[in-house]
Amino acid sequence: MLPPLGPSPLPLLDPLSRQPVNDVRRPAPAPALSAVRLVTRFSVIQEPPRTENKTVTTTTATFTNGPLSPFGVDPSRIEDAFPAPEYRGAQKQALSDIRAAFEAGNDVVLVRAPTGSGKSLLARAIAGCAREGSQASATQPIDAFYTTPQVSQLDDVASDSLLDDLSIIRGKNNYDCILPGETDTPVDQAPCVREREFECQVKHRCPYFSDRAIAANRRIAAMTLAYFMQTAGSDVFGTRDVVVIDEAHGLGEWAEMYATIDLRPDTVPVWDARKPPQVDDLEDAAAYAQGLIQAADRRLSELRGNAEIDPEEAAERDRLQQLRSDLKWFREEYQDPEAATTWVVDQPDGEGSPVTVKPLDPERFLGHTVWERGNKFALLSATILNKDAFCRNVGLDPERVALVDVPHTFPIENRPLYDVTQGKMTYEHREETLPKIARVLVRLMAHHLDEKGLVHCHSYAIKEELERLLNEFGVGSRIRSHEKADRDGQLAAWQRSDDPNVFLSVKMEEALDLEGDLCRWQLLCKAPYPNTRDSRVERRLEDGQWAWYYRTALRTVIQACGRVVRAPDDYGATYLADDSLLDLFERARVDMPDWFAEQVDRMTTPDLPEFDPGAATVGASNRSRRSQRNQSSGSGGGSSRSSSRSKRSPMADVWDTE
C-alpha cells in the first residue's frame, strides 16, 4: 500500500464542495497500469460478430503494483444473483455474455447498455458472483463494491426494493449528530471533530459510524465514486473481490477532477493573506503553492493551540489540512524529474484571481484509488463509445479488454430525432443563430401545447439570452429556468407541476429521469463540445486528439437523448437546433452505437406550425397561476437541512459524497 500524502493523517475534503470526509485521506497516486488479464472476444467495435463456436483466447499480465488473483469470483452464480423475478429486454442475453466474459479469464468487463437495460440489476447480479467469506482464506478478498459517480443513481438504489441488500454509506455531512444539543449538527462538524481528545460515549449509535460499520461487513457495500476513491488505503473499506462501477463512461474525467487543485477564496482559508500573483506557468504555480503551504501552517498552528474550536473553525482547519496536503503533493510531483505526471495551470483572469492546477494523466490516480481495490471489475454505461480510447484513458490495455454490447430494446419510433437546425452556435455565429432558435422554440411550444419540454442550453449565457428573447416574444408564462444556486429546487418544482411548461436547463444531460409525462420533448441548442479555453482541452487538441474531442461531445448528446425516453412504452422527441450537431454526427460516426446510428439515419425535418407566440401559450397563464397556488398551499413554509438534503437529487454534483 502506498503511503498517504503529508506527514500525518489528514481529514479529506470533497474535491469540489470541499466538505470534509474526515475518516479517509487522499491516497497517493500510483504508477500507471501496465495491463490486466483480459480478452477481446466481446469487442464489437472492431471485431466481427460473435458466433456460438468462436474460439476465445486470453493473455495474462499484471498491474504494476501486484498481480491480480485468478481465483475468486464465480460467474456461474450470475443468473441466480439477478434480483428481479423475471428478465426484460435483453437482460438474459446480457447476463450470459457477461458470465462468458468472466469465465474466459477476464478481470475487467465493460458493459455497454443503453437506457432501459436495467444496468443496476445487471450490476447486482455481477456483484453477487463475488467470493464469499466461507470460500476464502484470511488473506483473500471477499464480497463486492457497487459505486457510481451520480448521487441520483445511489438514491435510486436506496429506493429500489430489488436492491435492498446493497448497504449504502454516504459522507459524514449527510448524517446528524445524536448528542444532546447537537441534533442539528452534521457529523462532520460534531464535537468529535471540533474538540481535542473528545471521546464520544455514543459512537456505537452514531448514524454515520453505524452505517459505515454495516456497509463494511455486508456482502455489497454501495457508495458514490467520490467516497469510494477517497477511502482508498483505509482500513474500513479495503480490497474486495468484485468492484462494479455504474455510469462509468466518464471515469477518466472524474479522475482528473479528483486530482485537480482549485485555489479560490472558498477553498483557500488564507486567501486574503496570500492572494495569487500573476501565474503564467507551472514554475509560478509551484512558487505560489509554497507560499500557501507556509501560510496554512501558521494558521493551523493557531487552531491547534485551542483546546476547543467552533464548527466554523473546524471546517477551516479541515480545508487548511486538505489545502496543505494537495499543494505539497503537487510540488513534489512537479519537482520530481522521474514523475510521469503532466500538469497544466489556468488563471484566466490574471493576478489576484483563482488558479487551477490540473493533471493530464488520470490513469495514475485510478491505479491506487480504483484498480487496486478489487480482483474483478465490471464497468457499465450506455456511452462507452470507443473501447480502445476509453481503456487508454483509464490505464487499461485496450487489446485485452472485454466489451459486452447490450442492444437497445426501446422501439425506435418512440425515440425520434428531428432536424430543426438554424445555423451554427459557435461563439462567432451565436448572436445571429440564437434568435432563430428562440423562434423555433416558440413553434415547438405550440406544437407541444399540452406537453412539458426541456431545453438543453449548454451554458448559462445561452440560457439567459434565450430566456430574454422568449420573454420578449410574450411566452414567458410557460418558461421555467434555474441558476447555479437553485438548480435542484427549480428542477424539482418543474417536475412536480402538472403545467406543460418548458424548462431551460444547463448541464442536465445526465442523471435525469423524465419518464412519461414528466417530459415529452426536448431541444438541444448547441453541440456540447468541451471548452477549448480549458487548458486540458487545449493541450489535447495541440496533441491532435480531435477524435477525443468529437467523441466527448457525442457522448453528451447520446446521454441527453436518453433523458425523455425511459421505458419500452415511453416516448419522447429530441430536436436538434445547431448545425454543428449534424457535423458532429458525421465526424464521430465511427464511434456511434448501432442503435443511435439508426436514430440518426431516421432523422427527419418536422412539420411545425408557423411562428405565433399566442398559439404557444393558450391557457398557459391560468394553468400556471393555479399550479403556483397549489404548490404554495402545500409548501409548508420552511425546510431543515435534512429535508433539503433529501431533495437534492437528481442533479447533485458528481463529486458530492451523499
Task: Quickly state the pLDDT bin for 450 (edges 50, 70, 90).
Answer: very high
pLDDT for residue 395: 87
Residue 472 identity (one-letter amino acid):
E
Q: What is the pLDDT of residues 394-435, one digit of tens each?
A: 988 877 789 999 999 999 999 999 999 999 999 999 999 999
CA dist., res. 318 & res. 322, Å (int) = 6
C-alpha torsion angle, residues 543, 363, 169, 238 (rounded to 10): -170
Q: Out of 4-13, 340-349, 523-532, 604-613, pick the least confident.
A: 4-13
* Strand-pair category, 343-346 with 355-359: antiparallel
Q: Tell me the percentage of the chain whose pLDDT exceeds 90.
A: 56
The C-alpha cell at 549 is 474531442
Give DSSP secondary structure letters for 96-117: HHHHHHHHTT-SEEEEE--TTS
Q: Name which of 466, 473, 480, 471 is nearest 524 in CA terms.
A: 466
User: Which has more pLDDT, 84 or 487?
Assistant: 84
**At 128, is the pLDDT very low, low, confident or very high (cuts 50, 70, 90)?**
very high
pLDDT of residue 240: 95
Which amino acid appears at position 266 of this protein? D
pLDDT, residue 343, reads: 87
pLDDT tier, 28 (very low <50, low <70, confident <90, very high otherwise): very low
Q: Which amino acid is at 331?
A: R
pLDDT at position 623 is: 52
**How many whole angstroms separate alpha carbon 375 and alpha carbon 384?**
22
626 or 526, greater pLDDT:
526
Q: Rank 162-166, 249-253, 535-539 by mean pLDDT and report only the highest.
A: 162-166
Nearest-angstrom CA–CA distance, 317 and 298: 11
Strand partners, 405: 112
pLDDT, tens digit, for every residue of 508-522?
Answer: 988 788 999 999 999
How many other CB atoms are found less than 10 A from the CB of residue 68? Answer: 19
Is pLDDT above 80 for 641?
no
Closest CA to 497 of 463, 458, 466, 453: 453
Q: Rounded distance, CA 374 to CA 365, Å?
A: 15
What percent of the chain has pLDDT above 70? 83
End-to-end alpha-carbon separation of the chain, Å?
A: 27
Average pLDDT over residues 494-520: 92
Backbone angles phi, psi at 325, to 5 degrees: -65, -45
The predicted-structure confidence for 286-339, as pLDDT tens digits, reads as follows: 999 999 999 999 999 988 888 777 878 888 888 898 899 889 988 888 888 877
Report whether pLDDT(144) > 90. Answer: yes
C-alpha–C-alpha distance, residues 272 and 281, integer Å: 22
Contact 380, 564 (CB under 8 A): no
For 470-487, the pLDDT digits (tens) are: 999 999 999 999 998 898
Residue 13 has pLDDT above 70, yes or no: no
Residue 79 in contact with residue 47, Cβ under 8 Å? no
Predicted pLDDT of residue 192? 87
Residue 197: its pLDDT value, please?
Answer: 75
Q: Running DSSP on this structure, what letter comes out for residue 399?
A: G
Could you give the angle at which helices 387-394 and 546-561 cross, rounded to 10 degrees?
A: 110
User: What DSSP line would sit under 347-373, residue for residue?
Assistant: -TT-TTS-EEEEES-THHHHHHHTGGG
> For residue 543, which phi and psi values (nearest 5 degrees)?
-85, 5
| Ordered domains of the chain (ranges, CATH) | 259-359 (no CATH), 412-631 (3.40.50.300)
Query: Is pLDDT above 80 for 7?
Result: no
DSSP 378: E
What type of residue is 202?
V
In this structure, what C-alpha cell is assigned to residue 650? 437528481
Spatial distance between the Cα atoms of 413 and 573, rounded to a whole number of angstroms: 10
Using the predicted structure, report yes or no on whether residue 61 has a pLDDT greater than 80. no
**Residue with cell string 416558440:** 442
The grid coordinates of residue 166 equal 446493497
Task: State pLDDT tens for residues 313-328.
Answer: 888 888 898 899 889 9
